[in-house]
Amino acid sequence: MLKKRLIPCLFLKNGFLVRSQGFNEHQLLGNAIHQVERFNAWEVDELIYIDITRDDHYDIRRDDMKVKSESDILKILEAVSKTCFMPLTFGGRIRTLQDIYDRISRGADKVTINTQALADPTFITESSMVFGSQAIVVSIDVKLNANGEYEVYSHHGQQPTGLHPVAWAKQAEQYGAGEIFLNSIDRDGMANGYDTALIRQVAEAVSIPVIACGGVGQFKHLAQGINDGLADAVAAGNIFHFTELSGKRARKELLKAGIHVRN
C-alpha cells in the first residue's frame, strides 16, 4: 500500500506569507523563507508553495532583516529552493510553458496550474508532455454555489466556471494531469475540518492522486481527509503556523489514527 503524504502549504501574497480565510482575507505572517526552514527540520513529506499575488508587487516593506526583501517571484523561488530539501511544488500565476520552465529550472519539482488549465485544458497536455505528468498538478478551487451545488472557481476563487469539480477533475486527468490539488474556498481558514464529501467524490472519480486542502483546524482533521475523504495526501496551510513542532505533531496524529505515513 502506498504511503499517505502530509503536505504543508504556504501561501505567498505580495512577498509575505499569509494566513488565508475564504480566499479573500489575508493576514500577514512574515517573510517567504523562515517557515520553509522549519518544515525542513520537521521532515514533512512535501511542500506546496503557492503565489497568490494578484498584481506584480512583491515587497516585505522592511530592510533591517537578515532575509532581505526580494521584489521578484523567481528570486523568491530561488531562495525557497535553496532552503527546501523536500519535494517542492510551486504554483500560482502560471500561464505558459516558459513559466513552468522558469520554476522547474529554479528548483521546483512540480507546479500547480489552475486558471490557465481552465482557460485552455490542452495546456495540461502540453505541459505534461514537456515536463512529465508527474510534474503537473492541477489545482481545483471549489465553492458551493447559490444552488447549493459544488462549482469550480478560477482566478483566485473569484470567477465561477459552471464546472462541477468531479467532471473537471476527470477531464484534467484525461488531459494529462499527474495529481489533483483540491481546495475548498468555503472551508479555507474556517478550521472546522475538510469537506470530506467533496474530497471523496473527486477521489473516487479519478485514479491519479488527490491532495486534500482547506479547513484543517485540528490535527485530527488530517486523518479524516484520508479515512473519510479517501485522499492520497493531506495538505493544510494556516494550522502549521500556530504551534511549535506543528509538522511533527501532525504526523504523530496521523500515525495515531493508524494511517500509513512515513515515520
Partner 1 sequence: MQYCTRCVYPSISAVPLGFDENGVCTGCRAHDQKKTIDWAERAEWIKEIADEYRVTDGSNYDCIIPVSGGKDSWYQTWYAKEVLGLNPLLVTYNSNNYLQVGLRNLKRMREVFGVDHHFFTPSPQTLIKLNRLCFKKMGDMNWHAHCGIFTYPVQVAVKYRIPLIIWGEHGYTDLGGMFSMNDLIEMTAKFRLEHAQRGYDWFDMLDREEGEEEGLQARDLLWARYPSDDELEEIEVRGIYLGNFVNWDGNEQTELMKKFGFEESPVPFDRTYRRVSNLDDMHENGIHDYLKFVKFGYGRASDHACKDIRSGKMTREEGVEMVRKYDHVKPRDLLRWLQYVGMSEAEFDAIADTFRDSRVWQKNSSGEWTKENIWGTPSAYPVPSLTESNIEWSEFQKQAVPQ
**Of residues 147 and 263, the one with the C-beta less far from partner 1:** 263
CB of 244 to partner 1, least distance (A): 5
Among 22, 29, 52, 220, binds partner 1 (CB under 8 A): 29
**Of residues 191 and 257, the one with the C-beta less far from partner 1:** 191
Cell of 90: 510551486
Distance CA 237, CA 48 (A): 9
**Of residues 69 and 227, the one with the C-beta less far from partner 1:** 69
Residues 96-155 that bind partner 1 (CB under 8 A): none
| Single-letter residue type at 219 | F
Among 5, 8, 9, 42, binds partner 1 (CB under 8 A): 42
Rounded to the nearest 5 degrees, what angle is found at the Cα of 171, between the Cα atoms of 174 and 24? 130
Residue 244 neighbours by CB under 8 Å, 6+ apart:
none
Residue 63 — φ and ψ, nearest 5°? Answer: -125, 15
Name residue, grid cell 512540480: 110
Among 3, 27, 56, 262, binds partner 1 (CB under 8 A): 27
| Dihedral (Cα; 89, 92, 93, 97), 10-degree rounding | 20
Strand partners, 223: none
Per-residue string for binding with partner 1, 160-199, x by CB under 8 A?
-----------------------------x-x--------
Distance CA 86, CA 88 (A): 6
Residues 43-102 that bind partner 1 (CB under 8 A): 60-67
Residues binding partner 1 (CB under 8 A): 16, 19, 21, 26-31, 34-35, 37-38, 41-42, 60-67, 189, 191, 238, 241-245, 248
